[in-house]
Amino acid sequence: MNTITLIEGGVTAAKGFTANGVHAGIRKNKSKRDLSLIVSEKRASAAAVYTTNLVKGAPLTVTKAHIADGYATAIICNSGNANTCNANGIEIAEGMAKAVSDTLGIEPSDVVVASTGVIGQPLDLAPMVNAMPALSKGLSKNGSDAAAEGIMTTDTVKKEVAVEFTLAGKTCRIGGSAKGSGMIHPNRATMHVFITTDVAITPAMLQKALSSDIASTFNMVSVDGDTSTNDMVTVLANGMADNTPIEEDGEEFRIFMKALNTVTVGLCRMIAGDGEGATKLLECSVTGAKDEATAKTVAKSVICSSLLKAAMFGADANWGRVLCAIGYSGASVDVGGVGVSFRSVKGSITVCENGAGIPFSEELAKKILLEKEIEIVITLKDGEGSAVAWGCDLTYEYVKINGDYRT
């Protein structure tokens, strides 16, 4: 049995990857890093998924063209400005790639470009070009933290996960960094997520792994119901673990998928728990659905309910809001068979059985819901389908943050 072990690190955990983050001057606050660079020692297989929002940031268009051949060597990302809805957006994004190319001596087309921040604001290329020497000089195996900080916007914590496992006797690693706090309700991709691995895998199989994984991970996260214009998940695999290349489905691919999923689930939980203004991570688990698709629909509907999110902020066991969200989800559910429980480290309490309320201790429910991580457990009686979704509570602070986000 292959053991997947959580280890320290993020995007530099795998062999052959270095990273750094600096303050380039994009953000006015000089204490905040706003430009990050991740580099592979060898040209790597590349895969990505992007937002389905019709309004897309210029970096996504450029990145999609750059990795059309399935390969990349570096990732450059700025925070503080999304480079979206700008007349010269493509020019700026290509300029970022060229700045990396000129500094590292690689092809501009081997650079993944990403931007995050305010939409519709002009982005000056000069600060990034001027910062490139210091950014590249500081690249190191210890640079994951700096890079993770450089992509943050309203995030309050850095988000990094890494794992170690073996493929045919070869030690392999996957590491990832993410940013995401608000404008999170993805479809096909979410937030900005950068994942690196030293596994040898073809671009086609890497894309297959990523596209399959996000359906039950990043696409099951919601903070506020808004799908960003700049969402992107990118994976680079440089093959430096020296395993036999994964070229088709099989046991090695399944092990890789499980390791990738461990990283992505970890990042999902961090993103949801750090939602703008959030005080609690909410996890909604659904079992007994007619099929997986139905379970996903139910879980996502509950986690997106503003009323349920507000109730969780107030530690109010208002289970009726759970049933309400199930009812308007569009899922085919036998409402008379619905059960609802709330769990946390303080215990578990069942509040609804067979679609109706049952007596429960409000005092115990309050203790359970005052914790920072809450599980909303939904049991159905329609089949074997199951799913998990992640979100957060809705607080006064969310409105405050977004009331003056641009200014």
- Mean pLDDT per 10-residue section of the chain, whose length is 407 residues: 90 98 92 96 97 86 98 97 94 98 98 93 96 98 97 88 97 95 58 95 98 94 75 96 98 98 96 85 98 97 95 97 98 97 98 98 98 98 98 88 71
**Residue type at position 64:** K
Q: Which of 161, 200, 166 has its CA nearest to residue 2?
A: 166
84 and 57 in contact (C-beta within 8 Å)?
yes
The pLDDT assigned to 405 comes to 66
Is pTM, for the whole model, over 0.85? yes
Within the chain, which residue ranges are assigned CATH 3.10.20.340? 281-403
190 is known as an active-site residue: yes
Q: Which pLDDT score, from 0 to 100, does residue 131 have?
A: 98
CATH number of 281-403: 3.10.20.340
pLDDT at 186: 64
Query: Residue 193: what pLDDT?
Result: 95
Using the CB atoms, write b or e for 27-37: b if 16+ within 10 Å.
beeeebbbbbb
Q: Give the C-alpha separation, 76 to 195, whole Å.
A: 13
CA–CA gap between residue 15 and residue 22 (Å, rounded): 23
What is the three-state SS of 56-100? Answer: CCHHHHHHHHHCCCCEEEEEEEEEEECCCCCCCHHHHHHHHHHHH
Choosing from 18, 63, 153, 190, the catalytic residue is 190
Cα distance between residue 230 and residue 181, in whole Å:
13
pLDDT value at residue 187: 59
- Alpha helices for 191-319 (secondary structure H): 203-213, 251-273, 292-304, 306-313
Radius of gyration, CA atoms only, the chain: 22
Strand bridging mode 347-353 / 356-357: antiparallel
Q: Give Cα separations from 143 to 22, 89, 173 (angstroms).
A: 10, 28, 17
Task: Evaluate whether 341 touches 284 at the Cβ level (below 8 Å).
Answer: no
Residue 275: its pLDDT value, please? Answer: 78
Residue owning tokens 């910062």:
131
Tokens representing 312 are 């969780």
Position of tokens 């994009």?
A: 26
Q: Which residues contact 150 (CB under 8 A, 6 or more apart)?
A: 21, 22, 33, 34, 35, 36, 77, 78, 79
pLDDT reported for residue 182: 60
Q: What is the pLDDT of residue 163?
A: 98
Q: Contact at 8 Å (CB) between 189 and 49?
A: yes
Q: Write down the pLDDT at residue 31.
A: 86
Length of the chain in terms of residues written: 407
Query: Domain spanning 5-273: which CATH class is it, in words?
Result: alpha beta
Q: Which amino acid is located at 334 in the chain?
A: D
What per-residue confidence (pLDDT) applies to 214?
94
The helix/strand/coil state of 237 is strand
Question: Coil, strand, or helix at residue 382?
Answer: coil
Residue 407: per-residue pLDDT: 56
CA distance 114 to 192: 8
Q: What is the pLDDT of residue 191?
A: 74
Please write down the long-range contacts of 251-259, taking CB distance under 8 Å and 24 or more positions apart: 252/167, 252/168, 253/201, 253/205, 253/209, 255/2, 255/165, 255/167, 256/167, 256/172, 256/199, 256/201, 256/209, 257/209, 257/212, 257/213, 258/2, 258/4, 259/4, 259/163, 259/165, 259/172, 259/174
List the one residue out of 184, 333, 148 whose CA is nearest residue 271: 184
The distance from CA 259 to its chain's CA centroid, rounded to whole angstroms, is 16
Ranges for all domains in the chain classified under CATH 3.60.70.12 = 5-273
Distance, CA of 181 to CA of 153 (rounded, Å): 8
Give me the phi and psi of 230, to 5 degrees please: -120, 10
Determine the 3-state secondary structure of 55 from DSSP.
Answer: coil
What pLDDT is recorded for position 225?
A: 67
